[in-house]
Amino acid sequence: MPHARIDLDTRAVVAPVHRRLFGSFVEHLGRCVYDGLYEPGHPTADADGFRRDVVDLVRELGVSTVRYPGGNFVSGFRWEDSVGPRENRPVRRDLAWHSLESNQVGLDEFARWLKLVDAELMLAVNLGTRGIQAALDLLEYANHPSGTALSDQRIANGTLAPHDVRMWCLGNEMDGPWQTGFMTADDYGKLAARTAAAMRMADSRLELVACGSSGSGMPTFGEWERTVLEHTYDQIDYVSCHAYYQERGGDLDSFLASALDMQYFIDTVVAAADHVGSKRHSRKRIKLSFDEWNIWYLDEHRTSGEVNEQWRFAPRQLEDVYSVADAVVLGDLLMTLLRNADRVTAASLAQLVNVIAPIMTEPAGPAWRQTTFYPFAITSRLARGVALRVPVDVPTYPTAVHGEAPLVDAVATHDAEAGCAALFLVNRSRSDAITVTADIRSLGDVAIRETQAIHDSDVYAKNTLDDPERVTPKTNDTVRIDAGELTITLPPVSWTAVSLG
């Protein structure tokens, strides 16, 4: 049996665990909003039409921030369509997903929903088909207290207090040819800089996110960030990162090491940002907003015909059903975000309900947790205080996509004030259980509070409408602490959290 040694040293601090790392994303896409979080006829629906069973699950998931309303959708969106009396709201075509948008849920309704789930709103403006004026108008409608045309319109629409949105995305994936109104880095950089400057004139406290690359495989990856930041460095706070992973061609070994690509992504964007910063002799450090990340079986969806020539309301699109292996990879991706908490200070799991989501619903039926729900919810609950770098001494295994990959990945968090810590572990081996020995003397006298693990003899086991609890977290009874040394045996293809205190 392979063996891993790790050293959990409370001095190896990366940065505080920002709650915004546990953000998510709601796009007007498929059944994320309609027949997802909003279904007026549903038995659990409240007066606003929001499903309370979904609200309960979102709260359990521990989501801090929600990016809204897109995604590709935002690049053709007219925000004015989605406010005011519902009966006056127009039906529009959404070119991004070839579907119809009823606009029955808009900014004011969504902000009310966010109060139910106790999460922060992160808004995206349309820089695909629109520009500075529409962004300023939305900002006035959303954030100005009262006494102007658009703030008074919001009040007349029933929202007295401003939404006070702090984080704003300057468009979405403007590097992608699939984006309505996509641009070159130079054109986008100029537009984003001017939009950001104008938005700051209206409200200097905004936190602005410029579009980075839509994936590390984009031909412009790295150079896009450099060019955009040359234009926007002084105006923005964050550059966005988007990454989706999937198992391809039965290559589970590579898939299980997807976090290595996420690390490469982060390293490259940090290098590009700091290069621009150093040329300007700037002390400012651009932060990363990893505002789309997940497992997405994109290749299969591309050929499925679900995005087609029919214009339908809320069609079933991107409804991936996740396996145990997917959950293990998702847990590892979240560990990678924690490990980079010094630069990645915001992130959004894409998406939240039905569309590549941890929560699924059936119209007039139940809502349930996908396998991927668990590592996110458990990490959000246990990761407190500061993130700790945890070096792992373990053999590697060969992968076709990422080269040599360590068999075990680890990261920890430590809350000195509360006297607790959490250790997150992944075993990427398909065949072997791996025993981990951790030197935890720096934590002092601690006991094991709980262990939570995702694994199964069938790594492709899934939760479905018919069997919604096929996969749930298990405890790990192998864990021991003896003389400042913690040992635990990790089953093959597993994600594990150990809470100590």
Q: Is 140 among the catalytic positions?
A: no
Residues in a beta bridge with 122: 67, 167
Nearer to ligand AHR, 72 or 496 (CB): 72
Report, in Å, the least distance between residue 414 CB and ligand AHR: 33
Nearer to ligand AHR, 125 or 440 (CB): 125
Q: Does 214 bind ligand AHR (CB under 6 A)?
A: yes
Q: What is the DSSP string of 231-269?
A: HHTTT-SEEEEEEEE---TT-HHHHHTTHHHHHHHHHHH
Report, in Å, the least distance between residue 244 CB and ligand AHR: 7
Among positions 126, 227, 340, 351, the unique one binding ligand AHR when judged by CB under 6 A: 351
| Residue count, binding to ligand AHR (CB under 6 A) | 10
Catalytic one of 292, 319, 417, 450? 292
Report, in Å, the least distance between residue 321 CB and ligand AHR: 16
Residue 123's H or E segment, with its range, is strand 120-125
Nearer to ligand AHR, 65 or 476 (CB): 65
Report, in Å, the least distance between residue 214 CB and ligand AHR: 6
CA 435-469-479 angle, 5° bins: 20
- Spell out, one character per residue from 49 to 88, where the chain touches ligand AHR: x when CB under 6 A holds, - when not: ---------------------xxx----------------
Site residues for ligand AHR, window 215-244 (CB under 6 A)? Answer: none
Report, in Å, the least distance between residue 49 CB and ligand AHR: 23
Say whether 21 sits in a helix, a strand or coil: helix
CA 487-489-494 angle, 5° bins: 130
Nearer to ligand AHR, 351 or 429 (CB): 351
Q: What beta strand segments (E) does 8-105 contain?
A: 13-16, 23-25, 65-68, 92-94, 99-101
Report, in Å, the least distance between residue 12 CB and ligand AHR: 34
Look up residue 310 and give its DSSP letter. Answer: S
Q: What is the DSSP string of 267-303?
A: HHHHHHHHHHHHHTT-----EEEEEEEEE--HHHHHH
Torsion angle (degrees, nearest 10) of CA 311, 313, 318, 321: -140
Would you call 3 exposed, middle or buried from its count of C-beta atoms within 10 A (0-12, 13-18, 19+)?
A: middle
- Spell out, one character per residue from 394 to 413, where the chain touches ligand AHR: x when CB under 6 A holds, - when not: --------------------
Catalytic one of 39, 80, 140, 173? 173
Site residues for ligand AHR, window 360-389 (CB under 6 A)? Answer: none
Report, in Å, the least distance between residue 489 CB and ligand AHR: 37
Nearer to ligand AHR, 62 or 71 (CB): 71
Q: Does 35 bind ligand AHR (CB under 6 A)?
A: no
Among positions 108, 173, 175, 225, the unique one binding ligand AHR when judged by CB under 6 A: 173
Q: Does 289 bind ligand AHR (CB under 6 A)?
A: no
- Quick one: residue 71, left, alpha or beta (phi over 0 = left, psi -120 to 50 = alpha)? left
Three-state SS string over 430-485 comes to CCCCEEEEEECHHHCCCCEEEEEEECCCCCCCECCCCCCCCCCCECCCCCEEECCE
Site residues for ligand AHR, window 409-468 (CB under 6 A)? Answer: none
Say whether 311 sits in a helix, a strand or coil: coil
CB 470 within 8 A of CB 306: no
Nearer to ligand AHR, 49 or 106 (CB): 106
Cα–Cα distance measured from residue 243 to residue 355, given in angstroms and rounded to the nearest whole number: 16
Q: Is 27 among the catalytic positions?
A: no
175 vs 12, 127, 185, 223, 290, CA distance in Å?
Answer: 37, 12, 7, 11, 16
Residue tagged 């040329």 (tokens): 279
Nearer to ligand AHR, 346 or 438 (CB): 346
Q: Does 350 bind ligand AHR (CB under 6 A)?
A: yes
Residues in a beta bridge with 239: 210, 288
User: Could you tell me how many residues make up the chain?
Assistant: 501
Q: Does 292 bind ligand AHR (CB under 6 A)?
A: yes
Report, in Å, the least distance between residue 418 CB and ligand AHR: 35
Report, in Å, the least distance between residue 302 CB and ligand AHR: 12
Nearer to ligand AHR, 67 or 455 (CB): 67
Nearer to ligand AHR, 140 or 292 (CB): 292
Among positions 7, 9, 27, 120, the unique one binding ligand AHR when judged by CB under 6 A: 27
- CA-based diameter of the chain, in Å? 70
CB 427 within 8 A of CB 452: no
Report, in Å, the least distance between residue 265 CB and ligand AHR: 15
Cα–Cα distance measured from residue 238 to residue 230, given in angstroms and rounded to the nearest whole number: 13
Say whether 43 sits in a helix, a strand or coil: coil
Residue with nearest beta carbon to ligand AHR: 71
Cα–Cα distance measured from residue 293 to residue 185, given in angstroms and rounded to the nearest whole number: 22
Which residues are the active-site residues? 173, 292
Which residues contact ligand AHR by CB under 6 A? 27, 70-72, 172-173, 214, 292, 350-351
